[in-house]
Amino acid sequence: METTKVALVTGAGTGLGQALACRLGKEGWAVLIHYRRSKEGALWAAERVRSVGRPAAVVQADLSKKKEAEYVAQMCRKEFGRLDLLINNSGVYTPKPTFELTEEEWREGLDSTVTAAFFTSSSCLPLLRSAGQGRIINIGDSSAERLSARQWALSYHVGKTGLLLLTRTLARQEARYGVTVNMVSPGYLENSLDLPPLEKIPAGRYGSFEDIWSVISFLCQPSASYLTGSHIIVSGGWNLR
């Protein structure tokens, strides 16, 4: 009998995280759906996963706190007994000019991205190592490598740039255990808060959740076991400007 693989998706109560959780269920995965504030959205996603005959559970946590991240990993072990895929998707985007960010907004931009991914990854690594071919996929930012000045949401972008360094550090460390770590960075998705004019996207359209899923699906395949530490940008050419 084939073993059901298990995924943990953080920030899965809304948007891309919610869509990925639902798609994983459709593709046969059991899914642990994390949320911090969007309880109704997380419960809805869990029902969608169960509606296609796959197990699902929901967990609330502030992943910027180590003990809460450890609790999520413990719940995954208790509910499913294993973990094959961690998608670090959480992130709070506050579209304000740099010095209009409050202290709380500044910290939240960092805590919800790189800090949350650090604590969640470290808490889940024992399970991922045991899986044999564990996967960590960090959802990044398409301009993370450019280190260009930002007019809006600076703490979020600083966090996503730090997430790239975390990705490469973990990739080097975990390769010996068969765990791959990669970052997938969307450009402007159809649900983005501040879409640029369409003519500025070389591909002529905004990205879809399906565009991101297609890359994640590939990274989960055994044939991708040698691909680690990579930053895959899915932006329709936006980052080439």
What top-level class would CATH report for the domain 6-240? Answer: alpha beta
What are the tokens at 203?
């591909």
Contact between residue 80 and residue 32 where contact means Cβ atoms under 8 Å apart: yes
Q: How far is CA 196 from CA 65, 151, 208, in A?
A: 35, 14, 15
Q: What DSSP letter does each residue of the chain carry, written as one string?
A: -PPPPEEEESSTTSHHHHHHHHHHHHTT-EEEEEESS-HHHHHHHHHHHHHTT--EEEEE--TTSHHHHHHHHHHHHHHHS---EEEE--------BGGG--HHHHHHHHIIIIIHHHHHHHHHHHHHHHTSS-EEEEE--TTTTT----SB-HHHHHHHHHHHHHHHHHHHHHGGGT-EEEEEEE-SBTT-SSPPPGGGSTTSS-B-HHHHHHHHHHHTSGGGTT--S-EEEESTTGGG-
Sequential pLDDT tens for the chain (241 residues): 578 999 999 999 999 999 999 999 999 999 999 999 999 999 999 999 999 999 999 999 999 999 999 999 999 999 999 999 999 999 999 999 999 999 999 999 999 999 999 999 999 999 999 999 999 999 999 988 887 888 899 999 999 999 999 999 999 999 999 999 999 999 999 988 789 999 999 999 999 999 999 999 999 999 999 999 999 999 999 988 7
- pTM of the complete model: 0.97
Domain boundaries, the chain: 6-240
